[in-house]
Structure 1
């Protein structure tokens, strides 16, 4: 049995994810079910989901997204000791073939219920800390009750917040998976929390959870080859443990059935044109006979949503833009970008904005798109998977040289590349870098549009279709994780 513990999980039941990590872990769940791999993924249940927005007088106002338990079954209940009190939990499960998704629903006491109300939304450091203590202790309790540690082949800890699990129960084949090179991927807490909760008088203060996870794990997995150097630079004393397993997507989950077996650029063109019409109609987007360019993902500074806003002003072509994504309510830059996305969509007939990117909407946007935009500030994106989901459908990207892009995309062959391939975290306010790279980005978008109008586009699209379905498939990822041997 593979056991994975994750802060979020995006499957087709409930609304329990914020972005790429949750969707990735959902893809692993579906891949395990398809491949017959015994797999259990454990996460918290957030009654309020993540965050949604309503726009009032031009302002983006955050509200609870809400969540639904339909499709889940209660498989058991338990108690874990946290903060010196008994925390009552119920285990909600969704099963598919050999895969089980387990959601830990906190029932009492009130402070614990409040701590897990919304994903990644909390005002107090204590709430954030105890939220993940509950996840760690409940995950251990579930394994002991329903799986048995002798049956656990690998214990995979997704992101640093799950690094508390080894403080509750050590496992000889625990592995921490680091999903971001950015500083927020390495949360830290005052040592007093560890003294009060676990009785450990930690040597460092504050305690960096990634450090704990790497120390307690047999290896640290990073999600692209490029990330090895970045993580080794941050944690050089653990570099001997770092191994890359580049992210992937579950192809059957993201491909449109009509493109699943095309054998040539011409077959792809015919299939994609039909798929595009269907998706545009479902989204309510008017783009008949026009090129569709899309930027849709979590909105935050390093992903550079300002690039597409500037592009909308600068491109003098008859194209349609689809924008998508939401920001964390405490991310001032991201919330401001949401307002600007909304403003331009209201003002321009050729711009559409979808703030709420649920799984179904993401799929439709990909299927409606001709040119996908992937614009992170090089060095800051761990991997990225949106360009993979587009590519397996034969939708090529104009992409910065970051994350997993550099492993598979060749400029002019299966996509278009711009910018530097930087192995360091330069400051995000490096205006000279942004200006230089925007100029190259705009040039590459023009190149992609010329390719579309000139007919060469469909060979590039087909090359993306073929290469991405091989390299970025979950089948390859499962082999690299040693799930399939």
Structure 2
């Protein structure tokens, strides 16, 4: 290929509407009704053709259309309103500036392998990316000094085609970056900003692009530059593609290259958030930076840990990125030499002894000040999953907490519902999304009004589904009759169930098909029929997931189910928006506890859809008995087949005995019970499960403490970091000298309420000072395998009874019930939480 320069040619904008281009390059337009109408009203057909991409729209719109808009009085009124809204949004005081005025310059860097901001920018595969996109939008709304860092994929995630045999086919589009709402980052002299990383001795050049998302920016890294070889240019080609070396290279570009890109732009974050383990190599790069300034390797680790936050999204060990030792050694040899360490020191940062691999999740977990799962249940599952790493801690103390996911309500809420809420909740309702009191106003919406809007959205969904199916059948050259019959598929008066998400086996897309006889009765009931709409992609390397798609397609073609069970192709943000706004029931059937959070059900709920879901992910926190339906139980199963059997039975019981009868108990054209259910769903879900609440929680619990701790650890030439490092080394060297000499208790097997147990413990501490340990009493409810709901109380140092032998005493009064108690000793330092050095010694039997 010969070299060439790129130029984007667009029509000249009339002066009266000259800021159209400015808004085209800011994703703020995507969550504002007026912002979308801003472009669509100029040429609706073109807006649809360019898939709602405002930059591409301006490249292809005819100049006469722009001139006409600039002379249209109604359009000019809309234009002024949008510009006023936009300017006010960018300049008004924010939640963050009010609450944390001293931290407005402390940048928070959020690293993620994917960002799902809008359908016009397809660099996402599913829930992780959509969450990252919503996280960024709420960070903008709240005014955080926030930036995102990710990769700019030339082919994005694949377009899905389902062929005439029901098989998924993957097509990779070639994205023209100059047609996307992104801009290149340049040096002050106008040249392209570039950074480099070393990959097995090769220098790989990385370009940087900027995405504007309201008040914040996302920086995307791109290796597709002529300075690189073809294989290296393709490193940012596909999301989650290639072999292990390709994946490792991508993650080095993201983590190492991302840090270097920020430094090149003079951005020095105060807190670093790793969104899943893909970006964890930023830890290694930040350690390398510090060692260049003569900071010791161990002290550098403490500095990095002090300001790092990690979110894990997977509930199973198999979901973690693992790399062979030899592969890591071949890619990090030069960096190891630069840091002045041996390879073992680097390997030990993330070595998974159980699986004998370098584990990216462990790299992040071991070097983060705070770590979290994405729902309460997932936090519990994650603590159990990481238990081997913290074998001496009680499971409840493993340092993985939880911040339950949410959605960006303004992005996912239907425009028709926004208008309805403006009438009944107040015109500024969107500024109070996290306030339950505001949402109580949903009860003031007349039932007929809410039902009318829901029916309108259902009609739009039906039109969309029919159009999609007809396009698919035309492309597959199906008979004309098969295309025509689609116009009879779906009906706004018939209960419609939606199931749309990634086709992974644990999500059990085929659970309903486990009992075909009952399914056929459900969809073919003459008085109370049901329709089902499925959509979703399976990763091209996931043959089991692709088999699920094939099975559902085959079922949908059976005479008894044809036209009643539909499978739509190419699930993306645009399709998701139609489905979560338009069906009646949102079905979610993951095998508990395999779903970390799941957010599609939240998107559905804020639009008034009813969730029918297993008690997994976010749903156990949201379900209150009056806002949807629970499938199965919270019981633990050891046999997947038995769990599937029980959940299938429960699902049909819920549908047949509760959901279907309630929906069809209609008076005056709708079911009052159903409308009450919709209102309760909106009221209970919207104020809690939104990313405004989520990002505020991250800010208060994670970002601000990380910023403060990071500053403390780096002040005075990294004094506290060095002190913590030395303390940990001392404790590690001498902890084997710590032991219990004796433990005495006044407790009896049976005691009366209010009685006190006197505890007396004698310990040998060896060369460790008493000020460096905490001796504690621990009690909790007795369960199989130990204690739960533990309470920890300190014991008091009474005396030194011999050299390095100390007596500690304590008094314990426990509540009524069956409790167990014990004593332990652990390291204690004001500089870090004890879980960072989990060398707890528990008392032997006493």
Q: Please say whether Structure 1 and Structure 2 have the same fold, judged by a TM-score greater than 0.5.
A: yes
Q: Deviation at 1:457? A: 1.6
TM-score normalised by the chain length of structure 2: 0.54
* 2:259 paired residue among 126, 140, 149: 140
Q: How many equivalent pairs are there?
A: 478
Structure 1 pair 422/246, CA: closer, same or farther in 2 (3 Å)? farther
- 1:22-41 matches, cutoff 5 A: 22-41=129-148
CA deviations 1:178-211 (Å, max 9, x no partner) are 0111223322111223333142322433111111
Quote the Cα distance in structure 1 between the aligned partners of 2:129 and 2:203: 28
Point out the more displaced range, 136-145 or 260-269. Answer: 260-269
Point out the more displaced range, 173-182 or 47-56. Answer: 47-56
* 1:102 paired residue among 192, 214, 219: 219
In structure 1, runs of 5+ residues without a counterpart are none
* 1:167 paired residue among 260, 272, 284: 284
1:115 paired to 2:235: yes
Quote the Cα distance in structure 2 between the aligned partners of 1:176 and 1:66: 32
Q: Deviation at 1:359? A: 0.9
Point out the more displaced range, 312-321 or 217-226. Answer: 312-321
Point out the more displaced range, 337-346 or 456-465. Answer: 337-346
In structure 2, runs of 5+ residues without a counterpart are 1-106, 187-192, 288-303, 337-342, 391-396, 425-441, 467-488, 666-670, 705-846
Partner of 1:211: 362
TM-score normalised by the chain length of structure 1: 0.93
CA contact (8 A) 2:512 2:648 kept: no
CA deviations 1:84-139 (Å, max 9, x no partner) are 222111111111321112221112232222333211121x2111111101111221
Bigger CA radius of gyration: 2
Q: Secondary structure at the match of 2:687?
A: helix
Point out the more displaced range, 6-15 or 344-353. Answer: 344-353
- 1:11-410 matches, cutoff 5 A: 11-12=117-118, 13-58=120-165, 59-69=167-177, 70-76=180-186, 77-83=193-199, 84-107=201-224, 108-122=228-242, 124-149=243-268, 152-170=269-287, 171=304, 172-196=306-330, 197=332, 198-199=335-336, 200-201=343-344, 202-203=347-348, 204=351, 205-236=356-387, 237=389, 240-260=398-418, 261=421, 263-264=442-443, 266=447, 267-284=449-466, 286-310=490-514, 312-313=519-520, 315-316=522-523, 317=525, 318-347=529-558, 348-410=562-624
Higher RCO, Cα 8 Å, sep 6+: 1
CA contact (8 A) 1:410 1:416 kept: no
Quote the Cα distance in structure 1 between the aligned partners of 2:381 and 2:458: 38
CA contact (8 A) 2:160 2:571 kept: no
Q: Deviation at 1:147? A: 4.5
Structure 1 pair 34/423, CA: closer, same or farther in 2 (3 Å)? farther
Structure 1 pair 225/72, CA: closer, same or farther in 2 (3 Å)? same
Q: Deviation at 1:269? A: 1.9
Point out the more displaced range, 108-117 or 176-185. Answer: 108-117
Q: Secondary structure at the match of 1:482?
A: helix
Q: CA RMSD in A?
A: 2.1
Quote the Cα distance in structure 2 between the aligned partners of 1:79 and 1:273: 53
Q: Deviation at 1:278? A: 2.5
Partner of 2:113: 7
Structure 1 pair 257/406, CA: closer, same or farther in 2 (3 Å)? same
